[in-house]
């Protein structure tokens, strides 16, 4: 059976779309080598000063650190809460399971600006009671990120659980295992890859989170995206270009490596 492949017109149009998709990623490269302090193209002489400033300016380092802290803590909270929730739903199928799942997915589908306003309002209220989980504090940002990323953890873990053979759990149950044993010795070890995947996805989402972070931070807890925002909003700082080039290189490397591994597996398999 011959498969109909896209023709010349479709290929040509796709090439234009592909170019459109890659254009801004390419555009940052020359700008990052400019020798001036504002957004411009290098005028004959290339300079690495903006790359140097990323490493010399302690503020970028501080932001990197707080991004990692927030990402790890929020992903950790999200994965623990989500796995307890998903296992509860999977094992015992409580009534209203659909409603409960719909509710926990709410932060994922609600418009980000509404979630941002809601969390800003909440953290403002909390600031009156304590100074740890509060506006512009690390704890507050972790809480806000956890709310925003936990639905994704729920989705990933639900998918992992749906591929788990129910009979394994039933066998454990019929041999007298209690609920904690079933959870910790049977279910969790079997979905560990789902948990790891959920953690990585959560970390990436938190690492990139800017919508909510803009509302709940100002000067004290500045994550990397928040610092980039400051450099973009006031006057465009070419250091952002240097940072973007580094990030784009990392992402491209990971994706190309992944594709290469897949290709090899497919070759070996076929």
Partner 1 sequence: MRAALFLTSPLLLFLGFSYLLPFLGIMQLSFTDPSFGFSQYQQVLSDPLTLSVIWRTVRLCLIVTVVSVSCAYVITLLWVRGRPVVRLLTELCIMIPFWISVLSRAFGWLAMLSNRGLLNTWLKDMGLIDSAIQMTRNEFAVVVGMSHYLIPFAVFPLATAMRNVDERVLTAADGMGASRLRVFWQLFVPMTASGVMGAFLLVFVFSIGFYVTPALLGGGQSVLIAELIYLWIFQIPQWGVAAAMSVVLMIAVGGILYLLMRRYGEIAQ
Q: Name the residue with tokens 């004290």.
A: 220
Question: In the bound complex, what is the minimum distance in angstroms from residue 17's beta carbon to partner 1?
Answer: 5
**Count of C-beta atoms within a 10 Å radius of residue 13:** 11
Kindly state whether residue 45 participates in binding partner 1, applying the rule CB under 8 A: no
Stretch of 53-61, 166-174, 193-201, 208-216 lying at the interface with partner 1 (CB under 8 A)? 208-216
Scanning 44-110, the segments in alpha helix (DSSP H) are: 49-56, 58-92, 97-104, 106-109
The smaller minimum CB distance to partner 1, of residues 30 and 62, is found at: 30
Stretch of 44-52, 66-74, 160-168, 226-234 lying at the interface with partner 1 (CB under 8 A)? 226-234
Kindly state whether residue 211 participates in binding partner 1, applying the rule CB under 8 A: yes
8 class by beta-carbon count within 10 Å (0-12 exposed, 13-18 middle, 19+ buried): exposed
Site size toward partner 1, by CB under 8 A = 90
Looking at residues 147 to 176 of the shown chain, list those that interact with partner 1 (rule: CB under 8 A): 147, 150, 154
Looking at residues 60 to 79 of the shown chain, list those that interact with partner 1 (rule: CB under 8 A): none
Kindly state whether residue 208 participates in binding partner 1, applying the rule CB under 8 A: yes
Kindly state whether residue 106 participates in binding partner 1, applying the rule CB under 8 A: yes
Kindly state whether residue 120 participates in binding partner 1, applying the rule CB under 8 A: yes
Q: Any idea what the Cα angle at residue 209 is, between residues 207 and 215, rounded to 5°? A: 135
25 class by beta-carbon count within 10 Å (0-12 exposed, 13-18 middle, 19+ buried): middle
Scanning 93-238, the segments in alpha helix (DSSP H) are: 97-104, 106-109, 112-127, 138-162, 166-174, 179-181, 188-190, 192-208, 211-216, 224-233
Kindly state whether residue 38 participates in binding partner 1, applying the rule CB under 8 A: yes
Question: In the bound complex, what is the minimum distance in angstroms from residue 61's beta carbon to partner 1?
Answer: 18
Stretch of 53-61, 65-73, 91-99, 161-169 lying at the interface with partner 1 (CB under 8 A)? 91-99
Within 8 A by CB and 6+ apart from 6, the residues are 14
């Amino acid at each position: 059976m011959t498969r109909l492949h896209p023709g010349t017109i479709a290929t040509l149009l796709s090439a234009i779309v592909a170019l459109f998709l890659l254009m801004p990623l390419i555009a940052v490269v020359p700008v990052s080598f400019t020798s001036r302090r504002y957004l411009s193209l290098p005028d004959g002489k290339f300079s690495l000063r903006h790359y140097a400033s990323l490493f010399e300016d302690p503020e970028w380092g501080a932001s990197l650190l707080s991004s990692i802290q927030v990402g790890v803590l929020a992903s950790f909270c999200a994965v623990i809460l989500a796995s307890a929730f998903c296992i509860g739903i999977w094992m015992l199928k409580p009534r209203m399971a659909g409603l409960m799942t719909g509710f926990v997915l709410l932060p994922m589908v609600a418009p980000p600006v509404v979630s941002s306003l809601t969390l800003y309002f909440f953290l403002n209220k909390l600031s009156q009671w304590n100074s740890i989980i509060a506006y512009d504090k690390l704890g507050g940002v972790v809480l806000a990120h956890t709310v925003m990323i936990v639905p994704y953890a729920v989705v990933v873990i639900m998918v992992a659980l749906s591929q788990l053979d129910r009979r394994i759990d039933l066998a454990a149950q019929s041999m007298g295992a209690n609920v904690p044993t079933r959870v910790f010795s049977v279910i969790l070890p079997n979905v560990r890859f789902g948990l790891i995947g959920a953690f990585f996805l959560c970390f990436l989402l938190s690492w990139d989170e800017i919508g909510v972070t803009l509302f709940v931070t100002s000067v004290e807890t500045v994550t990397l995206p928040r610092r980039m925002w400051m450099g973009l909003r006031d006057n465009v700082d070419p250091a952002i270009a240097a940072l973007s080039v580094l990030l784009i290189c990392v992402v491209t490397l990971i994706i190309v490596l992944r594709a290469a591994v897949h290709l090899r597996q497919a070759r070996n398999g076929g």
